[in-house]
Structure 1
Amino acid sequence: MQIRYFLALSLLPQLVLADDSPTASASQCLIEPPVPRIVSQTQGMTAAELSKIRIVSDNSNAEMGKQAIFRGDVLFSQGDRHIAADEAILDQATEQFDANGNLVFQDSNFTVTAKSLQAQMRSNRATLQGAQYWLHGQQVHGDAEKLQITINNNLILTNTNFTTCPPDNVSWLLEAEKIKINSEEEWGEIWNAKLRIHGVPVFYIPYMTIPVSDKRKSGFLYPSFSTSTTNGVEFSVPYYWNIAPEYDLTFTPSYMSNRGLFTKTEFRYLAGERQNGRLNLEYLSDDDLISGNPNRYLYNWQHQGAIDKHWRVLANFTDVSDNNYFNDLNSDVNRATDNQLSRIGEISYFEKNWDLSTRVQDIKVLGEDEKPYQVMPQVNFNYRAADFWKSLDFGFNSELTNFAHQDNNINTATRLHMSPSVTLPIHGPSGSLTSQVKLMQTNYWQQNEDPNRVVDDTVSRTLPQVRINGQINFERFTELFDENYRQTLEPQFQYLYVGYEDQRGIGIYDTAQLQDDYFGLFRDRRFSGLDRISDANQATLGITTRLLDDHNQEVTKFSLGQIFYLQDSKVGYEDSIFESNQSTSVLAAELDTRLTQDWYMGAAIQYDTNTSENKKTEVTLDFRPEVNKLLQLSYRYVPDLLNSNTNDTVNISQAGVRGAWPISDNLYFVGNWYYDLNESRSIETYTGIQYESCCYALRFSYHYRIKTNYDDNIGTAAIDNREQFDSGFYLNLVIKGLGGSGPLGVSDMLNDGLFNYRKPLYLRN
């Protein structure tokens, strides 16, 4: 017998803990309730239909205006909410609803089993005795002696607990005398909480809060602990302050036994819907490791975003107290390998065919006495008109730059550059041919301040450029090792002509020689910046071949190319930038290939055919049979690299081994080892072991690495007194479901070091 009632019953609010996205298999970690899920067909239903209540039972006895009693497989449904029980009583006069016997409550978010339920439909109050709850699609589950739903739809659990561990292996359990879930603020308050790990009480908190959604709330974050030979024992406890929906702040005090108290503050903000920024302040008072006990600090400001659909803004400013700041301290802004601080401010305006931007820029190089030029300011205007006349494209690029300097005895200048161009692009499936004519007009107004480098007061430089770049695409189907492939052959050529003009009267403000890798062979310049535009009469020949499998995935890519100089370049040779003119450039080759199903190789070589010398070599060999399984062998060689500390050239010859491998389903190993073949010494060793289950993750790691030591500009410490190597132990723990920032990942262990892990660049699998 079926009886339908139109009632209004609102039960449990949504309870969602922070998603920890465990590394362990999601199917292994998700905890399903012991009762079957009831699937609701609510899609497309109207609000009136969703509010209807349907009660189904084996037997029922109802009298209008009095009690309605339902017995035997009672199912109470309203929208996606369901209550199953052996017996249910509805008192129509008092609007009281009672249910008991194998009681199950379900909605789209969770399942609750209980001994009994009492609900007051007029006030939307409800009480469940002897409750057990499970969150759908998550790991959270627990018990409660009493579960109450208040008139404000808040949730109160008495003598309760919860965990994210599987029921048969509860590694941790949080017990509490009382938990209150505020449905509006979506945060939980916990009184007299006790944390048990493997049944042993290890932590007691009289009061704490936890998130039950992705809303932010002020409170302490997970602490971290480490030891190192340089900093000693280090312990930090971050505190998060949710100031407002558009502002927050994280304050992290760290105590280092060898240095003192190091504080880090990060303030984040939103400026409207499309702008955001961050302010970082770091401070170490009276560094005990440096004689004179200097104060060390960092401040950084970043801002970016769009004012409207046309205007864009960008700002980035960083300053530190000394050259070795990033080498000695664990900063949230830069890594130890970063030795340049960029200060940029830019505002841009974009239209369909043109854009205008203004920027200021200053670069601070750590450990260098020579300071780069400041751009104060630079104005860029670019215009483009595609197919403006008979398939021709027109472009106009210009910039006006003022170069300033912090020192008064350095030459400064203002530079105006204009470059109109006409391009004829021809593209098709079989290839492409792009022809371009460009005129480059540059004017300098220079101020002579350096008696050792006299420049012309005014310079007007006009240079024509002709560039023809073409590529032909061939392809065929072939069979290799009993596999079918599609092979492409893509010969590419370029002719470049640039006129000559003596440029020795122009200072060097933002210009450096570019590297000749394979793609660099097809550039139209040999220098960055505009202070030197090398004359050219040259042809570049290159070829690329690819193998693609039946799924159109790239299996192998090989490129080889070289520039042939038809005429010696005077610019650069006159300035002694080039040691001598050569008939050809380096022979540049690049390879990325999948050798077998699990083996991958990447290589890049630059070989000087004139002197028979190797100019650069990089090789990586990867074994990647599965996700989080990796063995990589690498080697790199770079000759004549300038040492900024000694101004001498050194040859870099380094070999490395990197591996990541699961020891078991929950235990991972990651290790790095890099060795300097010239110095016959290890330059970095990293070993990390991580255990991760469905409910917590623990990582223990050891790090030994070379320290980059610049000349000190604080205190009286000499560079000889600094340690050349630093080693330390690190311990990280995340208990999932207690507001942690997520599990520890294998990928970040691969990138935790001086040398980041790199996959082959062009393979798409």
Structure 2
Amino acid sequence: MNFRFLLVLSLTPSIVIAQQASESEAASLHPKTDDSQCLILPPSAPRKSQATMGLNNNHIWIESDQSDAQMGKEAHFSGGVTFRQGPRHIYADEATVNSESQQLSAKGNLTFEDPLVTITADSIEGQMKNNSATLKGAQYWLKGQQVHGDAKQLEITPENNLILNGSSFTTCPPESQSWVLEANKIKIDSKEEWGEVWGAKLKIGDVPVMYVPYMTIPVSDKRKSGLLFPKFSTSTINGVELEVPIYWNIAPEYDLTFTPDYMSNRGLLSKVEFRYLMPGEQNNNQNGKLNFEYLPSDDHLQGNPNRYLYHWEHQGRINENLRVLTNFTDVSDNNYFTDFNSDVQQATDNQLVRVGELNYLNNDWDLGLKVQDIKVLGLSDKPYQVMPQLSFDYRFPELSNNLNFDIYSEVTNFAHDEDTHNSATRLHIEPRLLLPLYGPAGSFTTELKLYQTNYWQRNGLKSLGLEKSVSRTIPSIRLHGQVNLERQTQLFDQNYRQTFEPQIQYLYVGYQDQSNIALYDTAQLQEDYYGLFRDRRFSGLDRIADANQVTLGLTSRLFDESNSEKLKFSFGQIFYLRNSRVGLSNNELANQPSSSVLAAELDAHVYNDWYVSSEVQYDTKLNETRKYETTLDFRPEANKLFQLSYRFVRDLVNSNANTGDKVDIAQAGTRIAWPVKQNLYFVGDWYYDFKRKRSIESYAGFQYESCCWVARLSYHYRIRTNFNDNIATTPIDREQFESGIYLNFMIKGLGGSGNLGISDMLKDSIFNYRKPIYLTD
């Protein structure tokens, strides 16, 4: 028969010995690695005895197969020794406890475990009174992290910190240690969850690549000041480029990142990002960031101009009802985002919206105050500024028998930087009655509106043909009905449920001459399928187009037996009972058609992993396509994509050229993201312009990602968005295309600036962000 001896010690010399029958359990000394999740698991510990329940941290519990104890002095234990004091546990073949000196020594298949770390070692010498210990020949695993390593000697301090001498540090699985950080000494702070390293030598594939006398490393997701991984690239425009981000964790509510960005063809661009958090009560908090970027002298441009950017954004809740939002950006010149890799916006952005809002939100009404200024890069005509706008929105749902009432009102003051433009104050009131009727078979909505607007216009009115004071009252009636029909059908030996959802809308909007009102915030809206059922042709309020028209539309869907939508097809058209007499300009009112474009959209899961998406706008009067886009996707699983796409747009205004010329766009492309082998992915795309007969973008990138490091090598050739220069002393012939090679590398577990992923590579394309006009000009 096997016997196990249980020994409970307090910090006083008294000893209580108990005896219990049990089976001896041995701990595995090797961690288990789950390759699919990159999880590094420490050695499994023996099952803990329930007899320790109720003991405090001053008591010590010892359990073993055999025991030889001298009361009040020293005790020796052997055979499956288990030692517990509070959250700390030691498992060994044999151990000795000296009650007088409060010391513990153990060896043989030794495992130490506490909430922070699991350690296997040759031996341990511990001081029970102050909870310190020294382990020799140790291997350690930080719990909840990928971090593990070796140490000739590992010390556990009374504060539960770890001090490792002659040690190593890595986040790679034991069987595939791509990188290891070897150090003379490592101190891991259990409270701050960061490590200090002295005499560090970084090895990649057993090859030393870097020596650092002192550095800090993360052992959790907590922020820590230090050097982040650099980014390296070379391009035909900027030359060799090296970014070295430096992170400063100022306080829990503040941090700052300073990034020197050296470009051999331009000089040193300094970038600073400051982030802050303003905590409040009951989830009321505000946050924001400040960015400043500065290049004192651009060596690539004639005249060596200064280049700069500054940006501020802030948002949040002041209290339960009050919200605040600010966003302001300014740059030195029109081509700043084209020339530099800014931390604020993409190179394809051509509008800088500077806005400030303060909103009070209630259950039935909202009150808002707004100022706005839009800077359009590359355009000589500046938009109007909103200085300021006060809006009030009141809602009265269920006024009577499902009848809803709401009223929107605003008073806006429009200003302009140039004296040649007029300014104005606009008062707009828009009451609405809405009667929606819904049922399983369909819906019918009746909507009555009244647009009441008053303008008080100033400066240069006679030369522009404007009036000082204008009052405009326009009624609107919208009747919209939809019927839901469905049937069971069979296609390709498969059962489907097919729906037919015809809808009809009648829209009447009264007429009033508005040529005596300037355009302050109004533009043409898109004529896609869903736009056919809007009650407005223009954004903003300066033009309310009259209408007497009927819109017909039909949507049909296919659902499989699991009720998953496999196809959706919609098409529709507006039929004008009377031509509109209100336009943005008088020229567009001539030769009006009796109907709108025929707009259609298709989304289909064609077969297995093949998907089709298409959109067309067809002019039935001229028998020509105005706009057409289609994509064919093969998506068998995550991070696998093959796509073919084509887009065509007719008579698009070339606003970038500042001439008003119209251009046609016809472009085709392909995109692929595919694993080459385990952990190695390829992403590429290629786009061709049929009108200009040239390639406008090519991208190829390889990314390797293991459990402990990521590397990306990519090549990019793309057209550049070049606006008119407003900083050069002499005219500049800018490059039309740019090509470059980019290298990104990040070691997991040593800090980094952002994440590297396949989705980022798919987004690294001009087609994801640019409007079609900027793809060819």
- Calculate the TM-score normalised by the size of structure 1: 0.93
Residues 423-482 of structure 1, C-alpha deviations (whole Å, 9 max, x = no match): 111122322221111111111111141554120111111111111122222233433333
Question: Does structure 1 retain, via aligned residues, the 8 Å contact 2:145–2:220?
Answer: no
Other-structure match for 1:297: 308
Amino acid at match of 2:572: G
1:628 and 2:639 matched: yes
CA distance 1:427–1:53, shift in 2 (3 Å):
farther
Instruction: Tell me by how many angstroms 1:491 deviates.
Output: 1.6
Aligned match of 1:738 in 729, 750, 772?
750
Other-structure match for 2:23: none
| 1: CA distance, partners of 2:256 / 2:755 | 22
CA distance 1:486–1:59, shift in 2 (3 Å):
farther
Instruction: Tell me by how many angstroms 1:131 deviates.
Output: 0.5
CA distance 1:436–1:300, shift in 2 (3 Å):
same
| 2: CA distance, partners of 1:138 / 1:320 | 42
| 2: CA distance, partners of 1:465 / 1:289 | 57
| 1: CA distance, partners of 2:754 / 2:91 | 36
| 1: CA distance, partners of 2:253 / 2:10 | 40
Residues 477-498 of structure 1, C-alpha deviations (whole Å, 9 max, x = no match): 4333333333322222211111
Question: Does structure 1 retain, via aligned residues, the 8 Å contact 2:543–2:584?
Answer: no
Other-structure match for 1:727: 739
Other-structure match for 2:564: 553
Residues 619-640 of structure 1, C-alpha deviations (whole Å, 9 max, x = no match): 0111111211111111111111
Amino acid at match of 1:246: E
Aligned match of 1:140 in 130, 133, 147?
147
CA distance 1:450–1:48, shift in 2 (3 Å):
farther
Aligned match of 2:108 in 93, 101, 110?
101
1:122 and 2:122 matched: no
| 1: CA distance, partners of 2:380 / 2:769 | 32
Other-structure match for 1:208: 215
Residues 98-124 of structure 1, C-alpha deviations (whole Å, 9 max, x = no match): 221100123455431101112212111
Note the 1:430-449 alignment, pairs <5 A.
430-449=441-460
SS in 2 for 1:663: strand
Residues 372-392 of structure 1, C-alpha deviations (whole Å, 9 max, x = no match): 011111111000011022221
Other-structure match for 2:706: 693
Question: Does structure 2 retain, via aligned residues, the 8 Å contact 1:463–1:501?
Answer: yes
RCO greater where, 1 or 2, for CA within 8 Å and sep 6 or more? 1
| 1: CA distance, partners of 2:59 / 2:769 | 58
Which stretch shifts more, 616-625 or 53-62? 53-62
Aligned match of 2:434 in 414, 423, 426?
423
Residues 390-428 of structure 1, C-alpha deviations (whole Å, 9 max, x = no match): 221110001101111111111211111101111111122
| 1: CA distance, partners of 2:621 / 2:58 | 84
SS in 2 for 1:168: coil
CA distance 1:289–1:60, shift in 2 (3 Å):
same
Other-structure match for 1:653: 666
Amino acid at match of 1:565: Y
| 1: CA distance, partners of 2:34 / 2:132 | 39
| 2: CA distance, partners of 1:466 / 1:699 | 58
| 2: CA distance, partners of 1:165 / 1:61 | 43
RMSD of aligned alpha carbons? 2.2
Question: Does structure 2 retain, via aligned residues, the 8 Å contact 1:298–1:321?
Answer: yes
SS in 1 for 2:760: helix
Amino acid at match of 1:437: L
Which stretch shifts more, 343-352 or 425-434? 425-434
Residues 54-74 of structure 1, C-alpha deviations (whole Å, 9 max, x = no match): 433211233442333221011
Amino acid at match of 2:684: G
Instruction: Tell me by how many angstroms 1:264 deviates.
Output: 0.7
Amino acid at match of 1:702: Y
CA distance 1:386–1:52, shift in 2 (3 Å):
farther
Residues 150-189 of structure 1, C-alpha deviations (whole Å, 9 max, x = no match): 1222110010002222323322111000001122222211
Other-structure match for 1:680: 693
| 2: CA distance, partners of 1:262 / 1:326 | 13
| 2: CA distance, partners of 1:480 / 1:95 | 82
Aligned match of 1:499 in 507, 510, 522?
510
Aligned match of 2:44 in 26, 30, 36?
36
Note the 1:173-188 alignment, pairs <5 A.
173-188=180-195
Aligned match of 2:93 in 73, 86, 90?
86
| 2: CA distance, partners of 1:243 / 1:138 | 24
| 2: CA distance, partners of 1:146 / 1:493 | 81
SS in 2 for 1:529: coil
1:351 and 2:358 matched: no
| 1: CA distance, partners of 2:410 / 2:53 | 61
| 1: CA distance, partners of 2:49 / 2:751 | 34
Other-structure match for 1:662: 675
Note the 1:156-555 alignment, pairs <5 A.
156-273=163-280, 274-449=285-460, 452-555=463-566
| 1: CA distance, partners of 2:125 / 2:330 | 63
Other-structure match for 2:28: none
Residues 187-220 of structure 1, C-alpha deviations (whole Å, 9 max, x = no match): 2110000011111211100100112222222111
Question: Does structure 2 retain, via aligned residues, the 8 Å contact 1:75–1:84?
Answer: yes
Instruction: Tell me by how many angstroms 1:228 deviates.
Output: 0.5
Aligned match of 2:602 in 579, 591, 604?
591
| 2: CA distance, partners of 1:359 / 1:74 | 72
Amino acid at match of 1:148: E
SS in 2 for 1:576: helix
Question: Does structure 2 retain, via aligned residues, the 8 Å contact 1:513–1:526?
Answer: yes
SS in 2 for 1:86: strand
| 2: CA distance, partners of 1:582 / 1:245 | 63
Question: Does structure 1 retain, via aligned residues, the 8 Å contact 2:102–2:128?
Answer: yes
| 2: CA distance, partners of 1:641 / 1:289 | 33
SS in 2 for 1:520: helix
1:751 and 2:763 matched: yes
| 1: CA distance, partners of 2:336 / 2:303 | 16
Unaligned ranges ≥5, structure 2: 13-32, 771-777
| 1: CA distance, partners of 2:37 / 2:350 | 45
Q: Any runs of at least 4 consecutive aligned residues in structure 1 with deviations exceeding 6 A, and if so which?
A: 39-42, 49-52
| 1: CA distance, partners of 2:45 / 2:587 | 79
Question: Does structure 1 retain, via aligned residues, the 8 Å contact 2:348–2:769?
Answer: no
Paired residue total: 740
Residues 62-96 of structure 1, C-alpha deviations (whole Å, 9 max, x = no match): 34423332210112346764321101222223222
Question: Does structure 2 retain, via aligned residues, the 8 Å contact 1:409–1:450?
Answer: no
Other-structure match for 1:607: 618
Question: Does structure 1 retain, via aligned residues, the 8 Å contact 2:290–2:311?
Answer: yes
Question: Does structure 1 retain, via aligned residues, the 8 Å contact 2:643–2:670?
Answer: yes
Amino acid at match of 2:8: Y
SS in 1 for 2:370: strand
CA distance 1:61–1:520, shift in 2 (3 Å):
same
| 2: CA distance, partners of 1:734 / 1:314 | 35
| 2: CA distance, partners of 1:665 / 1:410 | 62
| 2: CA distance, partners of 1:654 / 1:538 | 35
SS in 1 for 2:607: coil
| 1: CA distance, partners of 2:237 / 2:10 | 69
| 2: CA distance, partners of 1:83 / 1:577 | 86
Question: Does structure 2 retain, via aligned residues, the 8 Å contact 1:573–1:581?
Answer: no
CA distance 1:272–1:30, shift in 2 (3 Å):
closer
Instruction: Tell me by how many angstroms 1:581 deviates.
Output: 2.2
Instruction: Tell me by how many angstroms 1:575 deviates.
Output: 2.7
CA distance 1:200–1:571, shift in 2 (3 Å):
same
SS in 1 for 2:532: helix
Which stretch shifts more, 428-437 or 455-464? 428-437
| 2: CA distance, partners of 1:313 / 1:41 | 56
CA distance 1:186–1:755, shift in 2 (3 Å):
same
| 1: CA distance, partners of 2:11 / 2:613 | 66
